[in-house]
Structure 1
């Protein structure tokens, strides 16, 4: 049984718009973030000193694959093992045919299902969406978003700006308005592609650190088993 402070599902876009450069940003960014001193420190400062992590890739409806099943990370060695799986098994972006569109709604549904099936207890449960596009396949986002929120899950997002992004309609604004939700939800906006890994570290520190604040303030919280 995986008792952890936070259970985080990394929902990573591997639709046909994800080229090798963007795929590398996501794969290496997540692997590097998990093993960074900031994240290891945030994990160890928490109440139990462990987090649960799963990593899956998604595109259109019905196209999703689990890269890293639920894994308990309680220190650097655990993090290195999880990062190695992501690096070796994550999408490279070289085979893009048949990937289809971008179904953010399906990504939330799959992430929510993984949290439903988390094999243990977690004080918080989070779906982390990483994508370079808006929902353009499958059902609208709102019902999936609301379903996850109703279960007590938080949806956060990190936007990868497309090369020709409309400055009047940035992707991060779409995520903030239409995708994120739940307790203390937020979207991360990048200043450029090179900012992805640093932004991901900042996001994870915030997600993990929210429990630290609660713990240090002596506030009692119910375990969220997700159903």
Structure 2
């Protein structure tokens, strides 16, 4: 029932995607869980999405995908803000070549975006867990890629959601954006990369890829995708 509702929501939004064959194998099922809380303004939101579009279509990323044992990955794109808001923006999409990646990037460019309330990393992780549970592919690894510019300030602690996901064999990697004006102009209580390392990432081989600011976000995403896929 949950899978049907997710797919129906994507169809209603007019988002194209390729349906998987039954248990089609992929090297990794990757949920991109992206912060759209109100601390991220329109310019920063644009740089985030452009960074993901450029990274997924980058020739080095495509080469890494094609070099995997299965020669393909599955990506779902989730946006999250406060505990009351998580949204599946792009459903599971199989990417095996440049044409697949370009179609995915075009769909992301056309998808509407909102900016809402607080920052619930725990809510984003919980949503990503649900999306992974409904993945129609057969991955060798399951990964949640959390990116954001602030600490958890809504809903349960991030550690609670992280530990639940890790217990299910999911790896959570982090992409903290070291913005100079996060969380409505207030700096986090600890350096954001330290917070992500201690409270967000987890699982076998989990790692951080730090973006020094929104301008360098795309480069950081590209490095992170190559490492995650490889």
TM-score (norm 2): 0.84
Q: Paired residue for 2:33? A: 11
Q: Which runs of 5+ in 2 are unaligned?
A: 1-21
User: Are the equivalent residues in 1 in contact too, given 2:151–2:188 (CA < 8 A)?
Assistant: no
Q: Which runs of 5+ in 1 are unaligned?
A: 210-227
Q: Paired residue for 1:214? A: none
CA separation in 2, counterparts of 1:8 and 1:80?
Answer: 17
Q: Paired residue for 1:199? A: 220
User: Are the equivalent residues in 2 in contact too, given 1:32–1:197 (CA < 8 A)?
Assistant: yes
Structure 1 residue 89 corresponds to structure 2 residue 106: no
- RMSD between aligned residues: 1.6
| 2:177 corresponds to which of 160, 165, 180 | 160
Matched position secondary structure for 1:192: coil
Matched position secondary structure for 2:226: helix
User: Are the equivalent residues in 2 in contact too, given 1:104–1:141 (CA < 8 A)?
Assistant: yes
| 1:175 corresponds to which of 196, 200, 208 | 196
| 1:40 corresponds to which of 62, 67, 71 | 62
Shift of 1:3: 1.8
Shift of 1:10: 0.4
Q: 1:45 to 1:130 in 2, by over 3 A?
A: same
User: Are the equivalent residues in 2 in contact too, given 1:27–1:90 (CA < 8 A)?
Assistant: no
Structure 1 residue 121 corresponds to structure 2 residue 142: no
- 1:102-147 deviation per Cα after TM superposition (whole angstroms, max 9, x unaligned): 0000100000111111112100010011111100000111221111
TM-score (norm 1): 0.86
Structure 1 residue 185 corresponds to structure 2 residue 202: no
CA separation in 1, counterparts of 2:70 and 2:124?
Answer: 29
- 1:150-180 deviation per Cα after TM superposition (whole angstroms, max 9, x unaligned): 1100001111122247599321111011100
User: Are the equivalent residues in 2 in contact too, given 1:67–1:85 (CA < 8 A)?
Assistant: no
Q: 1:197 to 1:170 in 2, by over 3 A?
A: same
Q: Which moved more, 1:163-172 or 1:131-140?
A: 163-172
User: Are the equivalent residues in 2 in contact too, given 1:53–1:70 (CA < 8 A)?
Assistant: yes
Q: Paired residue for 2:166? A: 149
User: Are the equivalent residues in 2 in contact too, given 1:10–1:53 (CA < 8 A)?
Assistant: yes
Matched position secondary structure for 2:215: helix
Matched position secondary structure for 1:200: helix
Q: Paired residue for 1:225? A: none
Q: Which moved more, 1:43-52 or 1:164-173?
A: 164-173
